[in-house]
Amino acid sequence: MIRGLGKLRESTARRLARCVSSESATSETKNLVPAQTNLRGESLLNNPRLNKGAAFSREERAIFGLEGFLPYDVHTIEQQVQRVLSQIDKQNTPLLKHVFLASLRDQNQVLFYRVMQEHLKDFLGILYTPTAGEAIQSYSRLFRRASGCFISFPNADGMRAQLEAHVDAIDNKPDVNDAAPGPIDLVVVTDSESILGIGDQGVGGVTISTSKSALYTLGAGFNPNRLLPVVLDVGTDRYELFSDPLYMGWKHTRVRGEPYNQFVHKFIKNCSELFPGALIHFEDFGPNNAYRLLEKYRDKVPCFNDDIQGTGAVALAALISAGIITKTKLSQQRIVLYGCGSAGLGIVNQIRDGMMMLDGVTKEAASRQFWCVDRNGLLLQSMGPNLRPGQMEYARPDHEVYDWPHEVEEQDALRLIDVIRAVKPTVLIGTSTHARGFTEQIVREMAHYVERPIIFPLSNPTSLCELDPLDAMHWTDYRALVATGSPFPPVPMSDGRLLKTAEANNALCFPALGLGTVISRSRTMSPGMIMAGVHALAQLSPVHDNPDSPGSLLPDLTDVRRVSVKVAAAVLMKAIEEGHSHKEFNFESEEDVEEYIKRRMWDPVYRPIEPADGEERRVSW
């Protein structure tokens, strides 16, 4: 017998006695269930899903032939985290830090997620926005190792085989963390037409899919080995990309029209057949396609668009919390939206759904509570042919604004300041990417008519935010209720306390919405399921503890794992209630639901590794 093997098998037997199956394993014991592999030596160290680096135990080193491949001393994961942090500190720019973290993910998956989870607020902007935007723009010049699935239009005939090959590469097997019945829980797909605030980025958009996938793991414990980040390479209209000799994507202008529709449909069909029960997350599709694809497929497969639904969900939760302070219903709010792209329309759609579901008003009545201002001014019905999909529902009748005064007389369009004066809104939301677009004049005008103005400058990154929370407080005599889309430092209040500004970060909501949908094995992510998640998120706001002297409108991002359990539980129960679930559940209490979810959340913990029984099996999770 190999030295140490008997000891390892004995300890494994004791662990398995406590963790007989995925159903009996608790959230505390799930990480004791061993992973199995026949990899040895350098091959094991080169597998990021199994690699522990210096944390391999003495017994594991002996059994898997790692002696000689590693320095002698065995280190804990806590020591490894400290080493990683010291190395990150030596990277001089955010982009270099992003590249370092991506390299760590490709070497040691558990360590990457452990570092990110423990320092989420510090590194979220490095992994995702804004630094991801810079990494995407430089993708072909920074390329070292492929990560994600590349489905290119010229290779459409081989699409199914390409998707299957990615699953085979993981060699996925059932595990305590499994949620969907197939080998993949979640597909994050982009066609790269509208990446962050930087537009068409071609094949480089795969970075947004990989980063968003990581947020599902960090936020809600999705097993990273059961996530598939995908870029649909349908060309690019950005000349500097396909004219660059180092560009790695398909050098062709964007495919549009019916060929594009057939390509996307083939992708959705293959995913639904190969990955039954998986959620398809549409990310950063162009405005003309985003709404259309979501409407086309939402009742056919479980699918979700974070730009439309996720942004709207977290904004609605913040608005519900603000309503607790102002003692007003959603349907009583007069809401002005500044910036009518996918995110802005997603927000007003979600708030309108909230008015209908929570307050019982009609869709028509709810729609009349919104005034939407875009680059060409207030949306009016006479603009019909020039309005993008989804905008016409919020266009105001021309006769309604006939006698409204204009700040600039010679201009025909009604600008934001004109709308503020005429409407006297209770809520002002910004998704315009117009840096500091909420001027002192606009904010003071709003605060003149409203006791507690609710102001949500949500544009990302911080440099494009419409308003600094400190200015919002100064210009409203500290009466404003603020949530931002980017992180800001606490605001010194007039009474000397520091007020933490709510960050309406999608990561507070979309991972849990996805987890609840997948775990419930729901055939769809229904509006009712989203609303259940929103309500659960709002209930976790610090406002509930002291509405007369409130803190942040939303829970802190560092608490996202606890938040996700509550939100996912609400989504799961609503899926059962609405009859969308494909699985029968028998929960006796809310605690049972939450424990069931915790058992299926992946943790960045080194699990024991033992030899696999069959020689053909490479990695089992």
Residues classed as catalytic: 128, 212
Beta strands (DSSP E) in 33-126 are 35-37
- Strand-pairing partners, residue 380, are 396
How far is the C-alpha of 393 from the C-alpha of 338, rounded, in Å?
16
Structure token pair of residue 618: 């490479």
Residue 355's Cα: distance from chain center in Å?
24
How far is the C-alpha of 382 from the C-alpha of 398, rounded, in Å?
7
What 3-state class would DSSP assign to 426? coil
What 3-state class would DSSP assign to 226? helix
Best CA proximity match to 602, nearest among 275, 174, 217: 217
What 3-state class would DSSP assign to 378? strand
* CB-based contacts of 154-160 (< 8 A; 24+ apart in sequence): 154/250, 156/263, 156/266, 159/266, 159/267, 159/270, 160/270, 160/274
418 is in an annotated binding site: no
261 is in an annotated binding site: no
How far is the C-alpha of 128 from the C-alpha of 485, rounded, in Å?
13
What is the bridge-based pairing of β-strands 370-374 and 377-378?
Answer: antiparallel
Structure token pair of residue 270: 């293959």
Phi and psi torsions of 518, nearest 5°: -70, -45
Phi and psi torsions of 385, nearest 5°: -65, -20
Q: Tokens 């040895």 appear where?
A: 40
307 is in an annotated binding site: yes
284 is in an annotated binding site: yes
Cβ neighbours for 152, distance < 8 A, ≥ 6 positions apart: 233, 249, 250
149 membership: H or E segment, kind and range:
strand 149-152
- Strand-pairing partners, residue 152, are 233
Phi and psi torsions of 225, nearest 5°: -80, -5
Cβ neighbours for 400, distance < 8 A, ≥ 6 positions apart: none
* Sheet with strand 279-282: strands edge to edge: 149-152, 227-233, 186-190, 279-282, 303-305
How far is the C-alpha of 549 from the C-alpha of 571, rounded, in Å?
30
Structure token pair of residue 191: 């066609």
Please name the residue ranges forming H helices in 385-509: 416-423, 440-449, 469-475
- Strand-pairing partners, residue 430, are 338, 457
283 is in an annotated binding site: yes
Phi and psi torsions of 303, nearest 5°: -145, 165
- DSSP per-residue codes, 383-394: GGGGPPTTTGGG
User: Annotated binding site for (S)-malate: which residue ranges?
Assistant: 460, 505
User: Annotated binding site for a divalent metal cation: which residue ranges?
Assistant: 283-284, 307
User: Annotated binding site: which residue ranges?
Assistant: 283-284, 307, 460, 505
